[in-house]
Amino acid sequence: MHALPYLKSLSPERFVEIYSGLEVEGYGPLDREVAQSLKFRPQAIGKLPMAQRAKRARQIIEKSGNEELAYEILGAWLLRHKKALVTGFLDATGVAHQDGMIEDIGSAEPDAKKVADAVAVLDQSFGEEPTTMYLVLCKAMWPSNEGVEAALAGR
């Protein structure tokens, strides 16, 4: 599964939670685009409820088919709210990183033999849903990693 289909599979309530979890000074990550789509001035968008802005942002992402944007939204939420999950996976599978950020994704790949054990620990610590979300992103980063593929297929 890729980031966009995963994002589409989220309940409306869960997407609002993720979108509002990326709020900075009262604005969601796509509020500029939401304002444009509604023909609002950017500063006026803050008057709409976050749930309404999130719904429109989701429509924008889905209509555009922008896989990269879906990946960025999910990844930003994970790094902001579940950084220990991200760093736990990277540490457990031997991926060099700086506070969850990987400098060279192409040369830093998880040890496929360690993925299943790492995922079991993360499921226990953080729950299956955020761990699955991260596995979806891992699949995009490392599409041929057998450990990631097997872990995601088991979901």
Same domain, 34 and 98: no
SS3 for 43?
A: helix
Identify the domain containing residue 63 by its residue range. Answer: 3-79
Q: Write down which residue in 19, 54, 79 finishes a domain.
A: 79
d(CA 89, CA 42): 38
pTM: predicted TM-score of the whole model, two decimal places: 0.92
Judge if 69 and 11 occupy the same domain: yes
pLDDT at 81 over 80: yes
The answer on 63 and 87 residing in a single domain is no
More confident residue, 74 or 103: 74
Band (pLDDT 50/70/90 cuts) for residue 42 is confident
Q: What are phi and psi of 137, to 5 degrees?
A: -70, -40
Q: How far apart are CA 32 and CA 40, in angstroms?
A: 9
The average pLDDT across 31-40 equals: 94
Band (pLDDT 50/70/90 cuts) for residue 141 is very high
Residues 70 and 111 in one domain: no
Q: Identify whether residues 87 and 59 lie together within a single domain.
A: no
Number of domains in the chain: 2
41 within 8 A of 35, measured Cβ to Cβ: yes
Asked whether the predicted pLDDT for residue 152 surpasses 80, the reply is yes
Confirm if 33 and 62 have CB atoms less than 8 A apart. no
pLDDT level of residue 43 (50, 70, 90 thresholds): confident
- If you average pLDDT over every residue of the chain, what do you get? 95
> Are the beta carbons of 132 and 155 closer than 8 angstroms?
yes
Q: Are residues 75 and 101 in the same domain?
A: no
Q: What pLDDT is recorded for position 105? A: 83
* Residues 84 and 53 sit within 8 Å (Cβ to Cβ): no
